[in-house]
Structure 1
């Protein structure tokens, strides 16, 4: 099963929107979401603090900030 890493933090409206998009995409694609709160790691906070939410698939950042379903689904299709 494909794995999507979702970097997020609490009280982030863009993150909530992105989470809804990922939940909707799971209806069409088989993947597991691994949610990582950047506040739990200084490294993640430094790396992704200004970018969140961040969607990563196979070690590649697919999209960050304003997440749209088209871009993420296009990337998921490449691996299906």
Structure 2
């Protein structure tokens, strides 16, 4: 059974990222998913791509949000992924 993967693009010393991560962890209690955290500062390409947008949330390869977490929207998308498995 394929598990849903939520990729979280972040960087160190980012208060908005820390808050977003906390909220995503709360969602993990409702909808099981693999959580992958990537520091964009470890790649020039990722820094260029996401530098002004972080945190960025990617669900199974599809960008589903950035900046502030929209918990309702991400929860809905996680639920849809779970139902389609």
TM class by smaller structure: over 0.9
- Aligned-partner Cα distance in 2 for 1:34–1:46: 20
Identify which of 71, 74, 83 aligns with 1:72. 74
Question: How far does residue 71 in structure 1 lie from its aligned partner after superposition?
Answer: 1.3
Identify which of 32, 35, 55 aligns with 1:33. 35
Give 5+ residue unaligned stretches, structure 1. Answer: none
Q: Return the structure number with greater helix share.
A: 2
Give 5+ residue unaligned stretches, structure 2. Answer: none
- Aligned-partner Cα distance in 1 for 2:9–2:77: 17
Partner of 2:54: 52
Partner of 2:13: 11
**Which aligned segments of 4 or more residues in structure 1 are displaced greater than 3 angstroms?**
none
Q: Return the structure number with greater strand share.
A: 1
Query: What's the CA shift string for 1:8-64, capped at 9, x where partnerless?
Result: 001111101110011100110110110000000001000000000000012111000
TM-score, normalised relative to structure 2? 0.90
Question: How far does residue 67 in structure 1 lie from its aligned partner after superposition?
Answer: 1.0
Rg larger for: 2
